[in-house]
Structure 1
Amino acid sequence: MNSGIPFHVKSARSHGATREEVKSAVLVGLREEGLAVTEAFAIAMRSYDDK
């Protein structure tokens, strides 16, 4: 998957977003988008944890 998720997560983190805030932002679309959100969630969490 080639996406902008890592860029946006790292940007959010650099502006003070917590891991929990990033989780919430990704999971808010779960009901509408379903399985695609779970893939995005994994990418977002890996990106947040990258130093």
Structure 2
Amino acid sequence: MLHYAIVFFVIALIAAVFGFGGIAAGAVGIAKILFIVFIVMAVISFAVSLIKK
């Protein structure tokens, strides 16, 4: 998940440099969603590993 969030962020940066504002905004939105999903999954995974021990 984090890998895809970084990829979309880089795509957004490249699109912004070349002047494609709409594509950059969409890629940033996708990157934000993927990053939030990554954080939630990491916290859940950490909590489950603590409960199992």
Compare relative contact order (CA 8 Å, sep 6+) and give the higher one, 1 or 2: 1
Which interval holds the TM-score relative to the shorter structure?
Answer: 0.3 to 0.5
TM-score normalised according to structure 2 size = 0.37
- Normalising by the residue count of structure 1, what TM-score does the alignment of the two structures yield? 0.37
Decide which structure has the larger Cα Rg and report it.
Answer: 2
